């Protein structure tokens, strides 16, 4: 059996994409694969989906890609000749999957990553900003912060450091010393969450960052 890649794909809310109707649980196959033109396209890194399928007009699904496979040079987009459509996943689910992806592949001190549609801060005290009402800003590094314009979504990961500050065997880049307690998503509504204002998560609650 050839390589099978677990990835994530966005669709229009009626489960169409480029005029073709997809269904959950079904498998599809094409003869030609090219990252930009032919084949089925999805993203290994969950939040890369938000650069191609905007949250206000899309639904997201876990998928499995196989057959002939080509990968994109600029991000984790994958094109394949075969695809199996799995369960629907929420934006919060995409965020949780992105955190798991990051924990497996990237150290906590990774630099912030700014993209249209999805801005994310992975590093210690990182900052993420959503400059478009359909964008999502993700703060998942320890003590990271996020802000956005009115209508944007902010997502925060609640990390707990389990190592002792005085124990030389632990350091903040040691993945085993961290526990993910969960992630929270809020929308900048102008009342509870103010636009263009930095927020973070403290003890599981979203809090405005004091200057």
Highest mean pLDDT among 30-39, 74-83, 162-171: 74-83
What is the pTM (predicted TM-score) of this model? 0.59
| Local confidence band at 114 (pLDDT 50, 70, 90 cut-offs) | very low
Tell me the per-residue pLDDT of 66-108, one tens digit each, with 9 for 90 and over.
998 988 777 788 999 999 999 999 887 887 788 777 666 544 4
Q: Give pLDDT, residue 162.
A: 78
Q: How confident is the model at residue 170 (pLDDT cuts 50, 70, 90)?
A: low
Contact criterion met (CB below 8 Å) for 33 and 70 = yes
Residue 130 has pLDDT above 70, yes or no: yes
CB 156 within 8 A of CB 137: no
Q: For the purposes of burial, counting CB atoms within 10 Å of the CB of 161, is it exposed (0-12), middle (13-18) or buried (19 or more)? A: middle
Counting other chains too, the contacts that 164-169 makes at CB distance below 8 Å and 24 or more residues apart are none
Residue 100 to residue 173: CA distance in whole angstroms? 15
pLDDT cut 70: percent of the chain above it: 79
Which candidate, 151, 124, 157, places its Cα nearest to that of 135?
A: 151
Q: How many other CB atoms sit within 10 Å of the CB of residue 123?
A: 19
Alpha-carbon gap, residue 108 to 125, rounded angstroms: 10
């Amino acid at each position: 059996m050839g390589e099978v890649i677990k990835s994530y794909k966005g669709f229009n809310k009626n489960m169409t994409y480029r005029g073709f109707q997809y269904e959950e649980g079904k498998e599809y196959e094409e003869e030609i694969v090219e990252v930009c033109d032919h084949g089925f396209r999805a993203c290994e890194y969950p939040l890369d989906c938000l650069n191609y399928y905007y949250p206000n007009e899309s639904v997201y699904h876990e998928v499995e890609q196989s057959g002939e496979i080509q990968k994109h040079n600029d991000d984790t987009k994958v094109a394949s000749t075969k695809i199996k459509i799995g369960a629907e996943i929420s934006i919060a689910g995409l965020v949780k999957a992105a955190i798991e992806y990051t924990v497996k592949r990237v150290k906590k001190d990774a630099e912030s990553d700014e993209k249209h549609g999805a801005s994310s801060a992975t590093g210690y005290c990182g900052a993420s900003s959503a400059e478009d009402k359909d964008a999502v800003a993700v703060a998942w590094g320890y003590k990271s912060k996020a802000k956005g314009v009115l209508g944007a979504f902010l997502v925060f990961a609640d990390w707990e450091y389990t190592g002792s500050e005085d124990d030389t065997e632990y350091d903040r880049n040691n993945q085993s010393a961290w526990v993910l307690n969960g992630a929270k998503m809020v929308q900048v509504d102008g009342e509870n969450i103010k636009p263009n204002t930095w927020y973070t998560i403290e003890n599981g609650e979203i809090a405005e960052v004091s200057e």
